[in-house]
Amino acid sequence: MAFLLGFLIALAIGVTGVGQGTLTAPLLILLLGLPPEVAVGTALLFGALIKVPASGVYLLRGGVDRRALGLLLLGGGPGALLGALALAAFREARDLVLLLVGLTVALSAGLGLLGSLRGRKVRERLHLLPPAALGIGLITGFSSGGTGSLGNLLLLHTTRLPPRQVVGTILLFGQLLALLGGGIHLGFGHVHSELLLPLVLGGLLGASLGAFLSAWLPPKPLRVALLLWLLLVGSQLAYRGGSVWLRSIW
């Protein structure tokens, strides 16, 4: 089951370019019944490992802007650390965590849809990268989602980087945040190590097939469809967590 799940998640990512963190943790919660903090920690390390081949290719081919990456990490690194620590601190309030993870997934999907449907601005505002990346890091460390959709939106609206460098820079940025946040969660025991290996093996196979299919399938309609589905999944998680949490406090 874990191998198939990793394969399908990475296949969707390879074809559409979105969804790794936003997609993995909700499915681990909904389909495999993992606690939110374990789902997030496992999803972060899964995402970091399956991105190794792609990020290596972008680096070797000059598809990463080092200046933008450094500015992103200046804010995103501390943010991911704080987000992971916040999830560890609130892990006993699992219904509240589930509500927040669901809201984050829905927000990330909604912003991704906005970015898919709007045009690009070209005014360069590099000074906004560190503070904005701090927020992205917080979201990533707490929920495993948001780096791709929010990061791409950020670079598209604050830099003049070509699309290829936007994708490559955010890919490596997300991988480094996932390693940092996933490492913190691993230290707290919030990683399901038995599931991680089959997830990664399936993910590497799915990512390879997805990259091949992306040359033949129209990515934008598939991306919009996936983001709409993620919006629904995030709303469902938020409803599940919020309804139980509200009953508990009343």
Instruction: Tell me the per-residue pLDDT of 100-133, one tens digit each, with 9 for 90 and over.
Output: 777 777 777 777 677 666 555 556 788 889 999 9
| Structural domain harbouring 154 | 2-249
Encoding tokens for residue 47? 């995402």
- Here the tokens at position 49 are 């490992």
pLDDT bracket for residue 6 (50, 70, 90): confident
Does residue 128 contact residue 121 with C-beta atoms inside 8 Å?
no
**Nearest residue to 154 (alpha-carbon basis) of 129, 131, 178:** 129
Confidence of residue 211 (pLDDT cuts 50, 70, 90): low
pLDDT of residue 30: 83
**Distance separating alpha carbons of residues 202 and 28, to the nearest angstrom:** 14
- pLDDT, greater one: 145 or 62: 62
Q: What is the pLDDT averaged over residues 237-244?
A: 72
Name the band, by pLDDT with cuts 50, 70 and 90, for residue 18. Answer: low
Cβ atoms of residues 4 and 206 within 8 Å: no
| Tokens 């909904």 -> residue | 30
Question: How many structural domains comprise the chain?
Answer: 1
- Residue 70's pLDDT band (cuts 50, 70, 90): very high
